[in-house]
Amino acid sequence: MYHPPRERWLERHRGKLLVAGLLALAVALWLVIELWRPLPPRSFVMATGPEGSAYAAVAERYRDILARDGIRLELRPTEGTAQNLALLRDPAAGVKAAFVLGGTVPPEAGADLVSLGTMFYEPLWLFCRCEAGVTIADLEGLRLSIGQPGSGGHQVALRLLQLNGLQPGDFRLLELPPADAAEALAAGELDAVFITAAWEAPAVRRMLSMPGVSLLGFPRADAYVALYPALTRLVLPMGVADLASNRPPADVTLISTQALLVVRGDLHPALQLLLIGAAEEIHAPPAIFHEAGAFPAATTVDLPLSEAARQYYLNGPSFMQRNMPFWIGQILQRLLLVLAPLLGLLYPLLSGLPRLYRWQMHHRIYRLYGELKWLERELHEAPPGAAREEMLARLAALEEHVLAMRLPNAYGEMGYTLKMHVRNLRAAYGTPRPDA
């Protein structure tokens, strides 16, 4: 009996081999996805600021927005910017994001940290139980609060005092958080309060409406901005705090810092983009000091923008961010990142498959022609006897195999020609066909 070539075995098991190949490909893709770039974590920690501060209030809004995408944002109250930076720089602290006051980040802090942009203005507010027109230099010897140690406002206040040639020892200095400072000012226990806070801060709104308390402006705002580039000149419009009582009674020139949203460089890029998306929802609407869309901004203060933030501000949110649920988008994005190079590798192979298939079909037929040619030579040379009968038996087996072959229509003519050659050889040596 004639033994078919290896191609017949491959044809018989083609379905099983295809299934095995697909399973192997699926397993390989799963391993690549899991080991190459993991999905974002489902929770991370953000340092905020003192409880009741503007930072804490804004952070709660971030938490609620991220919860819609299944991300749990854990909020950790702190004393302010200095502690936030310390926690961010310490990998063991577990803090991945925090609000930081622009202009207060030391150069050595930037090694592991990146910015997601500036989020809102934080003006410097100087409230005083005194007449309008008083300057910082006129406060010498008074009871003054400049914020609690560790806060960015405390650091900025000290810097401004130094710019005016003053030192903490020139005042009866207290270091109270904004809410406590407002209470002390209302009770007459303080003469002046120097805080850095957003317009929405409860302490600011309270002191703006406090009887006998004036908001002092900075008529030399341009000089402060020139000497302290992290600052910005702002104007608080007359009557904006209370139109009925016209508070403040005139436009007030302020100087302002900007709040940065800072993250560790190892925070997953997808979570960075979620934070920026939340920032747009929270900070993009118009406010007292800015028009709609001014924040978040790609302004670089103290720290460079992260690559994810840079791409976001340059190109906007991706298609998947705009149109897909967060986790579905992440899975699809990872699949595309894996499949794109894989398809690049497979394309040359796939494009060569038709040629390979043609070669295989020709090889399959030509091998049988080789067998036929060998049998023809042996039959021609073999004398009558057992050897000749063996050759005729092999010829009969070859014809059985050829008759049983199934070929694609494109190769039917080649198969038919082979069958005719086999039958002609059998007829030449007087052997009947199997179907005779």
The reported pLDDT for the residue numbered 150 is 78
Note the helical H segments in 52-129. Answer: 54-67, 81-89
* Alpha carbon distance 73, 280 (integer Å): 17
- Domain residue ranges in the chain: 43-118+260-335, 121-258, 353-428
- What is the rounded CA–CA span in Å between residue 389 and residue 374? 15
Give me the mean pLDDT over the 191-202 stretch.
90
pLDDT band for position 324 (cuts 50, 70, 90): low
Residues 180 and 186: their CA atoms lie apart, in Å, by 10
Among 7-11, 162-166, 368-372, 385-389, the range scoring the smallest mean pLDDT is 7-11
Res 1: pLDDT: 38
Residue 344 reports pLDDT greater than 80: no
In 3D space, the residue among 71, 42, 43, 77 whose CA is nearest the CA of residue 59 turns out to be: 77
What are the distances in angstroms from CA 87 to CA 94, 254, 404?
Answer: 8, 31, 78
Out of 13-17, 71-75, 200-204, 391-395, the most confident range is 71-75
- Paired tokens of 118: 């500036």
Query: Quick one: pLDDT at residue 332?
Result: 65
Query: pLDDT tier at 417 (50, 70, 90 boundaries)?
Result: confident
Higher pLDDT, 236 or 133: 236
Q: Residues 252-268: what's their mean pLDDT?
A: 94
pLDDT of residue 2: 42
Nearest CA among 103, 141, 81, 121 for reference residue 224? 103
- List CB contacts of 56: < 8 A, sequence separation 6 or more: 48, 49, 50, 75, 77
In the DSSP assignment, the letter for residue 305 is: B
Summarised one tens digit per residue, pLDDT across range 9-23 is: 445 555 555 566 566
What is the reported pLDDT for 237?
94
Gap between the Cα atoms of 320 and 330, Å rounded: 8
pLDDT tens readout for residues 55-113 = 888 999 999 999 998 999 999 999 888 899 999 999 999 999 999 998 888 877 767 89
Query: Does residue 414 have a pLDDT over 50?
Result: yes
Q: Give the pLDDT of residue 135.
A: 82
Q: Taking residues 326-339, what's their average pLDDT?
A: 63
Contact 362, 368 (CB under 8 A): no
Greater pLDDT, 38 or 181: 181
pLDDT tier for residue 341 given thresholds of 50, 70 and 90:
low
The mean pLDDT value for 111-126 works out to: 92
**Residue 251 confidence (pLDDT) above 80:** yes
Dihedral angle, C-alpha 111, 116, 118, 122, nearest 10 °: -70
Neighbour count for residue 25 (Cβ, 10 Å): 12
Q: Which residues pair with 113 in a beta bridge?
A: 264
43-118+260-335 homologous superfamily:
Periplasmic binding protein-like II (3.40.190.10)
Quote the pLDDT of residue 189: 93
Strand partners, 145: 174, 193
pLDDT band for 129, please (50, 70, 90 cuts): very high
For residue 181, give the nearest of 195, 169, 170 by alpha carbon. 195
Q: Compute, in degrees rounded to 10, the torsion defined by CA atoms 422, 423, 427, 432.
A: 120
Amino acid 33: pLDDT: 55
Q: Where are the alpha helices (DSSP H) in 169-304?
A: 178-186, 202-208, 221-227, 269-283
Topology match between the domains 43-118+260-335 and 121-258: yes
* Greater pLDDT, 100 or 333: 100
- Cα–Cα distance measured from residue 169 to residue 20, given in angstroms and rounded to the nearest whole number: 80
How far apart (Å, rounded) are the C-alpha atoms in residues 121 and 197?
8
Q: First vs last Cα of the chain: how many Å apart?
A: 19
pLDDT at 116 over 90: yes
Report the DSSP pairing between strands 252-264 and 113-128: antiparallel
| Mean pLDDT confidence for 293-318 | 88
* Cβ atoms of residues 65 and 281 within 8 Å: yes
Question: What pLDDT band is residue 352 in, cutting at 50, 70 and 90?
Answer: low
Rounded CA-CA distance 367/370 in Å is: 5
pTM value > 0.75 = no
Question: Alpha-carbon distance 430 to 102, whole Å?
Answer: 103
- Give the whole-angstrom CA distance, residue 117 versus residue 104: 15
What pLDDT does 415 receive? 72
Q: Which pLDDT band, with edges at 50, 70 and 90, does 4 fall under?
A: very low
121-258 folds as D-Maltodextrin-Binding Protein; domain 2 (3.40.190)
- What percent of the chain stands above pLDDT 90? 36
Calculate the average pLDDT of the chain. 82
Whether residue 116 contacts residue 276, with contact meaning beta carbons closer than 8 Å, is answered with: yes
Of residues 373 and 255, more confidence is placed in: 255
CA gap 10, 360 in Å, rounded: 11
pLDDT for res 22: 63
- pLDDT-derived band at 143 (thresholds 50, 70, 90) equals very high
d(CA 162, CA 156): 10
Whether pLDDT at 117 is above 90? yes
